[in-house]
């Protein structure tokens, strides 16, 4: 079965405009040799700046902002949607065949909160991947009260991994902040594997999210854009759960 790489876009990378350009260029350069990928993202630092401009300073729990009012919730939703549009625009500028998908589109994400998050109706998403289209999926879900809220990016990624497991072998990919395609070893190379407890903030921006993915039995690969898109078989450091 073909591997599918679900790329976790963390807040650190999303906040770097140069990264988005580099991301798009790497996918463009990889062309048809790029492995099947789905980009998964949340609000990033953009929403924090948006809320701070309105005088709100909410904390994050497991990477998700603790919004307290309807106004804050709407600002978060708007920021997530805008991040999705910015990623898609960067890829389109580099002539990468891509499509932006909000997690609420076609009822993609269901549940969340007290109920486990699920991804449903993923047949159309599988069809896009088989047509060599790059989906960019936001971590938005519609609540039973018809409100739209953000869920953890790793929660959304995990739900996609489970739902797409009938058609692909999903692998979660997280990017380092270093030049190495993985966690450096004692020499000049990278480690082939690391225990779940060995993932820390240097050079992984959101290690807690990585540990939650691995603990949920989602295969995790720590790499960088070069390691992900060097060829049909990405390289990096695997996380042992």
pLDDT tens for the chain, 241 residues: list them. Answer: 899 999 999 999 998 889 999 999 999 999 988 999 999 999 888 788 888 888 888 788 877 888 888 888 888 899 899 999 999 999 999 999 999 999 999 889 988 667 789 999 899 999 999 999 999 999 999 877 768 899 999 999 999 999 999 999 999 999 999 888 999 887 778 899 999 888 876 789 999 999 999 998 999 999 999 999 987 789 999 998 7
CB atoms within 10 A of CB 112: 23
User: Which run of H or E residues covers position 197?
Assistant: none
Bridge partners, residue 110, by sequence: 118
3-state secondary structure 77-122: HHHHHHHHHHHHHHHHHCCCCEEEECCCHHHCEEEECCEEEEECCC
Q: Domains of the chain, with CATH numbers?
A: 3-240 (3.40.1160.10)
């Amino acid at each position: 079965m073909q591997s599918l790489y679900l790329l976790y876009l963390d807040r650190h990378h999303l906040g770097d405009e140069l990264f988005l350009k580099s991301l798009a260029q790497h996918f463009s350069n990889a062309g048809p040799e790029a492995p099947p990928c789905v980009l998964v993202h949340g609000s990033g630092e953009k929403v924090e700046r948006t809320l701070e401009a309105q005088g709100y300073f909410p904390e994050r729990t497991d990477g998700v902002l603790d919004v307290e009012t309807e106004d804050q919730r709407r600002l978060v939703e708007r920021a997530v949607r805008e991040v999705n549009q910015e990623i898609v625009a960067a890829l389109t500028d580099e002539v990468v065949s891509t499509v932006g998908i909000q997690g609420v589109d076609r009822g993609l994400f269901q549940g969340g909160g007290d109920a486990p998050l699920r991804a449903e109706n993923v047949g159309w998403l599988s069809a896009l991947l088989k047509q060599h289209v790059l989906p960019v999926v936001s971590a938005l879900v519609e609540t039973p009260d018809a409100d739209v809220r953000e869920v953890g990016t790793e929660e959304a990624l995990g739900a996609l991994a489970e739902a797409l497991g009938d058609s692909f072998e999903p692998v979660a990919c997280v990017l380092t902040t270093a030049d190495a395609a993985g966690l450096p070893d004692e020499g000049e190379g990278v480690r082939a594997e690391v225990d779940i407890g060995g993932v820390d903030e240097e050079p992984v921006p959101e290690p807690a999210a990585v540990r939650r993915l691995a603990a949920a039995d989602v295969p995790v690969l720590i790499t960088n854009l070069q390691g992900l898109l060097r060829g049909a078989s990405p390289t990096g450091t695997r996380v042992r759960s």
